[in-house]
Amino acid sequence: MAFSIRSLKIRQQILLVTLPPLVVLLCAIALLFYAYWMALHAGRGTRRSLESVAQGEQLLRHAAEMHLGVRGYVFTRDHAFLAPYEEAVAQIPAELANLRELESDSPSQSAEVDAIQRGLNRWQTEWANPTITSVNRGSLAESSQLVTEGERRLASVRTLMLTLLEEDRAENYAALRETEQQMRRMLGLALGVALMVALALAMVTREVAGLLEQPVRQLIEASERVSRGDFQPSLPPPADNEFGILSRSFSHMTNALRQEREELAALNRFSEAVPQCTSEVEVYDHILHSLKERFRPTQVMIFKLNPAENVLEAAATLVPLPEEVRDWPVIPEPHNCKAVRMGRRFRVNDVKAEPLLCPAKFVAPSEGSYYCGPLIAGGVIIGAVRVEGSKDFWTPERESLLESYLSGAATALSNLRLLESTKQQANVDELTGLYNRRFVEEYARKLIAMARRQGHPLGIIMMDLDHFKEVNDVYGHEVGDRVLRQFAKTVTRALREANVAARYGGEEFLVVLPETLPKGCLLVAERIRKAVERMVVPSGTDKPLPQLTVSLGIAVYPEHGQGLEELLQASDKALYESKRAGRNRTTLYVRQEEPAS
C-alpha cells in the first residue's frame, strides 16, 4: 500500500486524505435525508392512523347520536330528537368515504369500512326508518322492545367500528415502534460506518503525511549538505509524482553546481599557475592542458601575432599540424582571422550546415564545430585561439568559461612580453641595439662557470674604434652615433649565432665566443676587422668620412685567466698592444714572463 500511495502524485495523495471525510459527509447527508424521509413516512402513516382513529370515533359517536335520536323520538314523540339523527345521517356518508380513503392502504380495513357502511344502512333501513314511520303513524307497539331491537342491531355495527379503531391504534403503535427501531438501527449503522471511516482515514492520513513529510525532510537535508559543499546528498527515491520531479531537478541542479564548482576550481588553478610561467611556451602548454581537460576538444590552435612580419603564427597546437603547413604555420594577413579583425569571438556550431565564416581557412575543420577568440591584453590583440569540438558543442556557458581561460592567458602573455621588453631595455644598449656592459659581464661569468664545469675554452675579444674621438670632434655626435650603429650591425653580421656582442662603453665593444680556441678567436677578430675596413658610413655633408678601422685584443679562458676580470684585463692589454703597434690590427694576449728576483 505504501508503494502504491508513494507513486501517486501529491494532488492524488491529498485527494486520498480528503475523499474519506467527503464520503463520510455525503453518507451522513444521505442518512439524514433517509431519516428525514422515514420520519416523513412514519409521520404520514401516524397521521393517517390518527385520522382514521378520529374518523372512526366520530363515526361511532354519530352512530350513537342516531340511535339516541331515534330512541328519544320513540319515547317522547318529540321531533326535536330527530335533528341529531338527521344531521348524523347527512354526515355519515362523507365520514365513511373519508374513512375508506384513509384505510385504502389496507384491503382488510377497507372491507371492514364497507361492512360498517352496510351495517349502518341495514340498521337505518331495517330499524330506524321503519321505527320513525311507525311513530309518525301512531302504530308503534311496545317502545322498550323496539328500542332494545335497535340497540341489538346497532351493536354489531358498533363492534365492527371498535374493532377497526383497535386495529388502527395497534397499527399506529406498531408503526411508531418500527420507526423507532429503524432509527436506532440507522444510528448504529451511521456510528459504525463513521468509526470505520475514521480509523481508515487516520491510517491513510498518517501514511500520506509520512510520505509527504519524508521527501520534504530529505530535500531539506540535501539542500543543507549542498550548502556545506557536499554534492553527494541522499535524495528521495525515484517516483512519478511531483517529489520525483523535484528530486530529479534537485539532482540536476546539484550536478550543475558541482560541475560549476569544479570548473571554477580548475579556472582558479589555471589563473594561479599561468602568472608563474617564465616563458610563453610554458603558458601555451598550460592553455593546451587546461582546455583539453575541461572541454575535450579535437584540436586547439594558439596563434601569436607577429606585428613585424604582419602574420599570425601557430605557436602551439594540441594535435600536430598537417605536413603541408608545418614548415610555415602562419596566417599571412592577421585581418584574415575574423576574431582578430572584429576583436571578439565567433563560433560555428556545424561546419557542414553553416557557412565557413573564417576567411583565413587555415587548416579548417571538415566536420563538427569550432570557436575562435582573440587574445586581448590591455585592449591590444596579441593573438588568437581556435578550439574545435563536436557538432553543436558551443553553448553560452561553455563560451563564457573558455573566454575566462583566454582572458587569463592573454594577461599572462602580455605580462611576460612586458617583462621581456623591460629586461631587453635593461640589457640592451639603446643606441646600437647590442647588449650593454652589465648584461655581458653577467652572461660571460655564467659562460665561464659552464666552461669550467665542461672543460671547454671561451674567448674574449675587446674592440675599440680607431680615432673615433676625431670623428665626433670633426663631424659631430650625430655622425658619431651613426658610425656606432653601423659598426654594431657590421660586427653582428660577422658573428655566429652563439657569439654575443656588446657595447662595453663609448667606442669600446666586447665579443664573447663560447667554446672557441685562440685560433678561432683570431679568425673571428680578423673577419670583423676586415668588415670594418669595408664599412661605409655617409657623413651627411660634402666632406666624406675617412676610412674607419678597429683595433682588437684577444684573451682565452683558461690560458689567459680563470675569471672574467682576469680575461678582461688580458684582452684590454692585448688591445693596447694593437693600438701601440699602429692600430687596425688584432693581438692575441701573451702572458709576460715575470722577471727573476
3-state secondary structure 569-588: HHHHHHHHHHHHCCCCCEEE
Q: Are 335 and 359 contacting, i.e. CB atoms less than 8 angstroms apart?
A: no
Candidate from 33-42, 163-172, 431-440 with smallest mean pLDDT: 33-42
pLDDT at 1: 42
- β-strand pairing of 458-465 with 550-557: antiparallel
- Higher-scoring residue by pLDDT: 25, 575: 575
Quick one: what percent of the chain has pLDDT higher than 70?
86
Q: Select, from the ranges 67-71, 479-483, 572-576, the one with the highest average predicted confidence (pLDDT).
A: 572-576
pLDDT at 6: 57
Grouping H, G, I as helix, E, B as strand and the rest as coil, residue 433 is: coil
Q: Are 81 and 147 contacting, i.e. CB atoms less than 8 angstroms apart?
A: no
CB neighbours of residue 133 within 10 Å: 11
pLDDT value at 594 more than 50: no
Phi, psi of 410 (to 5 degrees): -65, -40
Report the distance separating Cα 38 and Cα 212, nearest Å. Answer: 44
Candidate from 1-5, 6-10, 173-177, 486-490 with smallest mean pLDDT: 1-5
- Higher-scoring residue by pLDDT: 558, 201: 558
Report the distance separating Cα 392 and Cα 378, nearest Å. Answer: 32
Three-state SS for 280-337 is HHHHHHHHHHHHHHHHCCCEEEEEEEECCCCEEEEEEECCCCCHHHHCCCEECCHHHC
Nearest C-alpha neighbor of 147 from the set 87, 59, 68: 68
Residue 519 CA to chain centroid, in angstroms? 76
- Mean pLDDT taken over the chain: 81
| pLDDT-derived band at 593, boundaries 50, 70, 90 | low
| pLDDT-derived band at 12, boundaries 50, 70, 90 | low
Q: Are 550 and 489 contacting, i.e. CB atoms less than 8 angstroms apart?
A: no
Work out the angle at residue 174's Cα, subtended by the Cα atoms of residues 173 and 177, and round it to the nearest 5 degrees: 90
Report the distance separating Cα 461 and Cα 459, nearest Å. Answer: 7
Q: What is the mean pLDDT of residues 222-243?
A: 70
Q: What is the mean pLDDT of residues 380-385?
A: 88
Look up residue 463 and give its amino acid: M
pLDDT at 39: 64
C-alpha cell at 311: 602574420
pLDDT value at 17 more than 70: no
Report the distance separating Cα 363 and Cα 301, nearest Å. Answer: 10
Q: What is the mean pLDDT of residues 432-441?
A: 90
Q: What is the mean pLDDT of residues 287-297?
A: 89
pLDDT at 4: 55
pLDDT tens for 408-426 read 888 888 887 777 777 767 7
Q: What is the mean pLDDT of residues 273-288?
A: 86
Query: Which residues on neighbouring strands pair with residue 464, listed in sequence order?
Result: 508, 551
pLDDT at 15: 63
> Has 508 been annotated as catalytic?
no
Report the distance separating Cα 41 and Cα 84, nearest Å. Answer: 38
Quick one: DSSP state of residue 353?
Answer: T
pLDDT at 596: 43
pLDDT value at 323 more than 70: yes
Q: What is the mean pLDDT of residues 381-399?
A: 88
Quick one: what percent of the chain has pLDDT higher than 90?
22
pLDDT at 424: 67
With cell 575535450, the residue in question is 296
Q: What is the mean pLDDT of residues 562-579?
A: 94
Q: Are 149 and 176 contacting, i.e. CB atoms less than 8 angstroms apart?
A: no
Candidate from 12-16, 180-184, 365-369, 399-403 with smallest mean pLDDT: 12-16
| pLDDT-derived band at 151, boundaries 50, 70, 90 | confident
Phi, psi of 482 (to 5 degrees): -65, -40
pLDDT at 181: 78
Given the residues 507, 508, 526, 577, the one annotated as active site: 507
CB neighbours of residue 337 within 10 Å: 23
Q: What is the mean pLDDT of residues 289-300?
A: 90
DSSP string, 36-88: HHHHHHHHHHHHHHHHHHHHHHHHHHHHHHHHHHHHHHHHH--GGGHHHHHHH
pLDDT value at 2 more than 50: no
How many helices (H) and strands (E) would you count in the chain?
Answer: 16, 11
Q: Select, from the ranges 145-154, 353-362, 512-521, the one with the highest average predicted confidence (pLDDT).
A: 512-521
Query: Which residues on neighbouring strands pair with residue 509, listed in sequence order?
Result: 463, 503
| pLDDT-derived band at 453, boundaries 50, 70, 90 | very high
CA distances for 175 relative to 72, 181, 277, angstroms:
42, 10, 109
pLDDT value at 88 more than 60: yes
Report the distance separating Cα 47 and Cα 471, nearest Å. Answer: 153
